[in-house]
Amino acid sequence: MAIDSVDYDVVVIGGGINGAGIARDAALRGLRVLLLEMNDFGSGTTSWSSRLIHGGLRYLEYAEIPLVFESLHERRRLRRVASHLVTRLRLNIPIYKDSKRSKFIIRLGMIAYDLLSIGKKIPPHKMLSRDELLSEEPGLRREGLLGGAQYYDAQVTFAERLVIENVIAARAAGAEVKNYCPVTGIEVRRGTVNGLQYVDLKSGSNFEVSARVIINASGPWVDSVLGIVNRKMPKFMGGTKGSHIVVGKFDGAPRSAFYVEAHEDGRPFFILPWNDQYLIGTTDIRFDGDPADVAPGKEEIDYLLSETNRVFPTANLSSADIHFAYAGVRPLPRHDQGPESAITRKHIIYKHKDDAFGLISIIGGKLTTYRNLAEQAVDSAVRLSGVTAAPCTTRSQYLPGGIGLDDAAEQLKSMPHLSAECVTRLIGIYGSRATELFESPGDSVVWMDSQKTVLAAEVAFVMREEMAVNLTDILHRRMMIGLSPDQGLSLADEIASIAAVEAGWSEVERNRQLLELRNYSAKFRV
């Protein structure tokens, strides 16, 4: 076994949004940080959310006022420091005669949401008459419609990229960041964490490192990570499964996002314009299995299709219209009683005491509040470790692609061979870092697609600069074409050839990578 003698202040287990955010924050404060992810960064729950950066209007029903307030603050911060990834979203709530929530209740909720949003640069809500709503959204079901409410929140089209930017920022600030490195054991000696073991799946080598603090940010895997501690640990998690479907533009499709009450059970769900398609979800069902095996059930898909067809009657959507579907497990604290929707979405930063002093487990959390969660977790880590650290800077510090964004956009727009669509795509994925794809502004460009929006240069860029290891990383979590209607498969061969040259893959390895990518993509088709 190779012994890595480096002593870290903080080792973070899990490279989802929370682990990546924690690693960035800790490294920016001058701590010695190691981030370990067993798969690719952002490949867990973070990729399977509704992709909203929102206050969580629904949480008002459960009087979670501090959570809504925190989320709205974080929404404003993220819109500033990552404006290329987090964009404003207009939503409508239609109100019908038979709606569970009356016009009065929705109006009250909207007023509270506006009040909690004070100081944020987002327009207040509007109550719309039936005619006003129908003139904006003529495809909406008319029968029993009384009117609606319109308000603004935000959307992160590519949550995967938010993770990658945090990882890159952590690395730039001095953290060691490693994907495909599962943690296999955690050692506690005399009640205090001592270190951990991990395997580097790329080389096959085993490592053992010592750490003052270990942060278990493994999302729905928190209990399974606690299961590899060399002593009996408590269990915390009681995840719920949520599924989404992705369809193309349908007859009567809305121009804005919709937040609607399902007829079957009164649960609110979203119909979201997203990535030139529609993202529809979600469900909420208790889940006890391995989070890696979660998949949308047939009944969930039928529920989402039929509820959408009810709100937009000319849509007539069937499973044949689904481009792909996905499911994730919300890493929630265990609550065996009561409805799933009532389980708190507030995060808990649990500092283990005598059983494993120096170990912190992160329970719950939202994409929206990851930055604040990271700040609190690192504050705790600093206190536990006793090391001196600089103050947190992430409230105002831009993510890498958000630095110099306007200048970068101007530079790209001035390149005669780049169409407006191409510039929009590149900025929406890489932010200002898109300029690094061109060694000099006059460089000729090799296109991969007929619309001339995808560049061959992206493949080597994401492998060299963003730690993409295999084709699935490249398509699904870096270039983001894996989330297009054909899951990027029309470009897979060509990308594989470029990646093979870059990584030195043999023909056999190139073909194996293609097969692995196709198998991965197939998991999401229904």
Ligand X SMILES: Cc1cc2nc3c(=O)[nH]c(=O)nc-3n(C[C@H](O)[C@H](O)[C@H](O)COP(=O)(O)OP(=O)(O)OC[C@H]3O[C@@H](n4cnc5c(N)ncnc54)[C@H](O)[C@@H]3O)c2cc1C
Binding site for ligand X (CB under 6 A): 13-19, 36-39, 43-46, 48-52, 182-183, 217-221, 225, 242, 282, 328-331, 365-368
* Closer residue to ligand X in complex, CB, 91/495: 91
Burial grade of 520 (CB within 10 A; 0-12, 13-18, 19 or more): middle
Smallest distance from the beta carbon of 506 to ligand X, in angstroms? 28
Could you give the angle at the alpha carbon of 210 between the alpha carbons of 206 and 216, nearest 5°?
Answer: 85
Q: What phi, psi does 91 have (nearest 5°)? A: -125, 150
Q: Which is nearer to ligand X, 36 or 170 (CB)?
A: 36
Calpha distance 475→214 (Å, rounded): 32
User: Which residue's CB comes closest to ligand X?
Assistant: 16
Q: Which is nearer to ligand X, 323 or 510 (CB)?
A: 323
Q: How far is the CB of 408 from ligand X (least distance, A)?
A: 27
State which residue, 134 or 360, has the beta carbon closest to ligand X. 360
Shortest spacing between CB 290 and ligand X, in angstroms: 11
**254 close to 271: Cβ distance less than 8 angstroms:** yes
Cα distances from 376 to residues 26, 198, 317, in angstroms, run 11, 26, 44
Minimum CB distance to ligand X, residue 389 (Å) = 22
Report how far residue 71's alpha carbon sits from residue 90's, in angstroms, rounded to the nearest whole number: 17
Instruction: In angstroms, give the least distance from the CB of 163 to ligand X.
Output: 8
Minimum distance of ligand X from residue 239's CB (angstroms): 8
C-beta of residue 217 within 8 angstroms of C-beta of residue 18 = yes
Cβ proximity to ligand X: between 220 and 431 the closer is 220
The DSSP output letter for 475 is I
Output the smallest distance, CB 38 to ligand X, in A: 4
Give dist(CA 227, CA 221) in Å, integer: 10
- DSSP H helices, 341-404, are 370-385
- Closest to ligand X by CB, 84 or 477: 477
Taking every pair of Cα atoms in the chain, the longest distance, rounded to a whole number of angstroms, is 71
**Residue 351 pairs with which residues in a beta bridge?**
360
Nearer to ligand X among residue 92 and residue 432 (C-beta): 92
Residue 447 tokens, joined:
């296109």
CB of 145 or CB of 262, closer to ligand X = 262
- Rounded least distance, CB 44 to ligand X, Å: 3
Q: Which residues of 355-393 are buried (b: 16+ CB within 10 A; e: fewer)?
A: ebebbbbbbbbbbbbbbbbbbbbbbbbbebbebebeebe
